[in-house]
Structures are given as structure tokens and as C-alpha cells.
A = this chain, B = another copy of it.
Amino acid sequence: MTLRLHNFFRSSTSTRVRAALNLKGLPYDYVAYVLRNDETRTPEYLARNPQGLVPTLELEDGTSLTQSLAIIEWLDEVHPEPPLLPKDAIGRARVRALAGMIACEIHPLNNLRVLFRLRDQFGADEDAQKDWFTHWVTLSFDALEAGLCSTSATGRYCHGDTPTLADLCLYAQVWNNRRFDIPLDPWPTIARIFAELDRLSAFRDAAPSNQPDAA
């Protein structure tokens, strides 16, 4: 028995958890779902994850953990090395806030079910969806760039010189931005950190294009 990750290659919340598992050196079974085919709306899946969302991390005893940030905090508590949060409380608050700027302010507005809803309720075509997506990325990436470039707490990565929860979110979001070809030029610190992360096999191996279900 091993960990099983129920996920989808392009899901950015899934990317976060894959990179966290890789950083922790934890092997896992990859279970792929096609979101467009409602494969996460079956009674079996909904029993694991009542929201019908990915990812779900299934533990060895069958327990299902949901919500990517909650899963990553659990991983960090149960498998503390290498740590994904700094040791000091202020540093931890900073990292969680940087993560929240992406996880609570960009991703929820831009995932597939939201774009579908914009199409269905407002007739938003691909161009309108791109305007919407780009608007939320720009608002929060402008603020994230300001928060990163204004302090020496930022190092090689978002906080110091080892990857944290904030980097997991940043890396996955930059991949997500590629759906609408959003260039990183306006945000040089974010671009630099993404490039640093992309050199690490734990992140690279978690990237959407490197998953077994990538078309």
C-alpha cells in the first residue's frame, strides 16, 4: 500500500500537491480523472471528496484528505523534512499569506468550472474568458511582485533559499497562466523564482506536461 493521489495533470491544485510529495520524497500512485467528462462526479468519488474536486490524497488506511493547502499542511506535519514552512511564526505567516494571495485570490476565480459558468451564465467566449483570467492574475501578481521584491525575506525562492508552500502555489499558477499565454514580463521576481523552481526535479516532475495523463 502506498499513497494514492487522485488528480488531473492540468489542475494547478494537483500540481501543488505533486510537487510537495516530490519534495518530501514520498512515492505515490497516480490516479487520473478527466474533469470535462465528470469523472469526479461519480458516487464513489464524491464519497471521498464531496466537492467532486481534485486533488484528493488517499492515505494507506483509506482516509481521504481534500483541499490542496490542507493536504500540504498535513504532509508537512507528518513528514517534516524538508520543511515547507519556516520555523518562526512571522515567517510562517508570510509564507501562508503569499500562498493565500494565489490560492484564495487567483486560482478560485480562474479554474475550469468558473470559466464554464461564465460561458453558461454570461455567454463569455474564449476572448472574454481570457480577459477575466488575465484580470485576476494581473491584480494579484502585481501585489505578489510588490510583496516579493520589497523585502530581504525573499531569497532564491519566495521565502529564503528553500522552497515553501508559497513556491508550490507560485509554480502551479505560472503553469496555469499558460492556458491563456500570459507572459511573465511584468513580474521579474516571479519570473526569476519560477525559473529557479523549474530547475528542481521535484517541481519539474510535478509539472502538468510531465504527467501520464497529459495528452
Report A's interface with B, CB cutoff 8 A. 46, 50-53, 63, 65-71, 73-74, 77-78, 89-90, 92-94, 96-97, 99-101, 103-105, 107-109, 114, 117-118, 121-122, 124, 128, 131-132, 135, 139-140, 142-144, 146-147, 150
18 new A-B contacts at CB < 8 Å, known A70-B99, A74-B92: A46-B146, A50-B143, A50-B150, A51-B143, A52-B143, A63-B90, A67-B100, A67-B104, A69-B104, A71-B93, A71-B97, A74-B96, A104-B104, A108-B109, A118-B122, A121-B128, A121-B131, A122-B124
**When A and B form their complex, which 10 residue pairs have the shortest distance between CB atoms, in order from nearest?**
A70-B96, A67-B100, A108-B108, A50-B143, A67-B97, A50-B146, A122-B122, A74-B93, A70-B97, A51-B143
Bound form: Cα–Cα A181–B118 in Å: 23
Number of identical protomers: 2
* Interface SS majority for chain A: helix
The chain B residue sitting closest to A145, CB to CB, is: B50
Kindly list chain B residues whose C-beta atoms are within 8 Å of the C-beta of A74: 89-90, 92-93, 96
Bound form: Cα–Cα A94–B77 in Å: 14
| Nearest CB on B from A87, distance (A) | 11
Bound form: Cα–Cα A17–B27 in Å: 37
Could you say which of A70, A114, A146 has the most chain B C-beta atoms within 10 Å of its C-beta?
A70
14 contacts between A and B (CB under 8 A): A50-B143, A51-B101, A51-B139, A52-B143, A66-B97, A67-B104, A69-B100, A73-B96, A74-B89, A74-B96, A78-B89, A103-B104, A121-B132, A122-B128
